[in-house]
Structures are given as structure tokens and as C-alpha cells.
Amino acid sequence: MRKKGLTFYCTILLTFCQDLLRKSRLLGVGLKVQIAFFALLASLGGRFCAVQAISPNQSAAIVEHCDTIKDELKKVQKEDARVRVYLGGYYETILTKFITPLNVRLVENNLSSAGLVENQNNFAGTKTLFANDFIAYQQGLEELVGLDCRQEPEKFYDKLTTVRQKRKIMVQDVLKMRNLISEHVRLVEGLRGKV
Amino acid sequence: METKKNEKKKMTHGGRNLVILGIASTLIALITTGVSLVVYHNSGDIYLDRSRPGYLPDEEEIEEEGEKEEEYIFEKTGKLTAAIIEEYLEKMQVEVRAIDAYEKPFDENVLSDERLGIPNAETEQP
């Protein structure tokens, strides 16, 4: 149980460091090296603690339902690919056919708004993060499906925990995108009185 | 006699060159295909490719795509009026509604212990 708790904290720390590194375009090299060092420590810690992190019951269930679990994961893979393609398409449409042309037109009409430009930059940045996070998540899921859950149930569960964390990041990205869209709509509604 | 021998040698030489050419072309094709597959996988394009076996869109999806309205693109030039902004927001709402139609995308519960049939450690008897 203690080891499981430690694994959980290591995974959280690793995810946090990876998240920081992803968004650390503006950070100094020294700070980046320090974060990378912590990420490495957390990663090593996570691997060390991962041994026997699950109960015998869980281990037995994984071995017993190995095929069913893998089928379920494959279904998730397929469904996620569908959601990613559609959501990514909508984000791309909103950015290239709505937000960007509107900002260009606002500049032309001398109505440029700092808030809208900032929103566009944030939207483009988060969209890229969403795409990259999805690749990382799918790679994790692919590795998970490739693992032999009959032979290595502990390793399988450990990987499953990592994939869950990556999926959580996807949920956060989708929420961020939705909030940015709402903010954009609010800012455009504010333009009504100015034109 | 020697001319015949030379001709035979030339033929053998030509045949060998043909085999070398065949092997070299096959090797080049294999290497370039391998590199393409690595790039295809590492770039993440593989995860967006829905033409892969097992990832093909369902019939319903294809029908829905066929029913799509004409695409709207906001003009980069021209005067801005309240009516144009109103139209912009109206068209934007179509996209927003389409996004909101996805209830809980990447729902975390999908990978939960319960859903995968793994007993939860916290609810287990000590």
C-alpha cells in the first residue's frame, strides 16, 4: 500500500514536470535542466516503486480478464481517434476560418483588440498542445495494448496508471479549448457596441 | 571460338548486372518504405489515420459527413458592421454546438478499474 502511494506521487510528480517542460518555452535553460532532473528522478522513482504496486486480487483479475481488457482498450483507441479527428477539425475550422480572419479584418478596420489577439495566440498554442498530448497519449495506449497482461500484470497496471494520467491531460486540453472559444465569443459580443 | 566465348561472358556479365540492379532496387524500396513508416508513426499521423483497418468510419458517420452544409469562411477584408458580427457569431455557434455534441470527450471513467473489470484496491477488504 505504501509503495502504491509512492508510485502515485511519483507519477503525479512526473506528469507535473512533463507538463511544465511542455509549457516551458519562456523558461531559462538552468530551470529547464532542474525540471528535467526532477522528471528523471520521478521517472526512476516511479519505476522502482512500481514493483508489486497492485493487490493479488487485482493482479489475478488482470490475468483472468486480459483479453477482455485488451479488447476494451482497442475500442477506446478507435473511439479516441474518431473524437480527436473531429474535435481537431472543429478547432482548425474555428482558428483558420473564424478567429484569424476576424482579427485581420479588425486590424484593417482599426478596431484591433489586444484581448482577441491574445486569445488567438492562446488558442493556436493550446491546439498544438492538444495535438501533441494526443500523440503522447496514444503512444502510451499503444504500448499498453502491446504489453502481455498475463505475464506482467503489475507492469500492465503501472502503464495503465500512466495512460490514465495522459488521458486526464487530454480532458484538461479539451476544457481549455472550450474556455478559449467561450472567451472569444464573449470578446466578439463586446465588439457589437464598437462598430 | 574465342569470339563465342567472349559473347557468352558478356551475356553472363549482363545477367549479373540485371540481378544486382533488381536487388539494389528492392533494397532501396524497402529502406525508403521503412523510413516512411517510421516517420508516419513517430509524427503521430498514424493515430489520425482513419483509413487503417479497424479504424474505418462507420456508415452513419459517412452519411452525416455527406449531409454537411456549405462551408463558411469569414472574409478577411471589408467593413465591419453589427450585422456582420451577428452573422459571424451565428455561424460560430454551429461549430460550438458540434463540439458540445461530444459529451465528455476522453472521459476518464472509460479507463477506470470498474470499467475494465479490475477490482479497486481501495474498496478491497484489508
ipTM here = 0.75
To 5 degrees, how large is the angle CA A141–CA A146–CA A149?
100
Does residue A62 sit in the same domain as residue A77? Answer: yes
Residues A68 and A45 in one domain: no
Query: Can you give the residue range of the structural domain that contains A46?
Result: 1-53
Same structural domain, A170 and A74: yes
A69 shares its domain with A149: yes
A61 and A26 within one domain: no
| CA of residue A163 relative to chain centroid, distance | 10
Of the ranges A7-16, A50-59, B85-94, which is most confident? B85-94
Domain count along chain A: 2
Quick one: average pLDDT of A103-125? 93
A84 and A112 share one domain: yes
Q: Do A26 and A71 belong together in one domain?
A: no
pLDDT for A192 equals 83
Asked if residues A53 and A7 have their Cβ atoms less than 8 Å apart, the reply is yes
- Pair (A25, A108) in one structural domain: no
Q: Which ranges of B2-81 would DSSP assign to H, the alpha helix? A: 2-42, 59-66
- Do A136 and A162 share a domain, yes or no? yes
Nearest CA in chain A to B93: A185
Residue A50 is predicted with a pLDDT of 47
pTM of this structure: 0.76
Higher pLDDT, B124 or B96: B96
Cβ within 8 Å, pair A185-B115 = no
Closest chain B residue to the Cα of A85, Cα to Cα: B48
pLDDT at residue number B53: 79
The pLDDT confidence band at residue A23, using thresholds 50, 70 and 90, is low
The answer to whether residues A86 and A165 belong to one domain is yes
Which of B111, B112, B125 to mutate: most A Cβ within 10 Å? Answer: B111
Dihedral sign, Cα of residue A106, residue B71, residue B52, residue A160: positive
Chain B nearest-CA residue for A76:
B110
**What is the predicted pLDDT for the residue at A89?**
94
- How many CB pairs below 8 A link A and B? 138
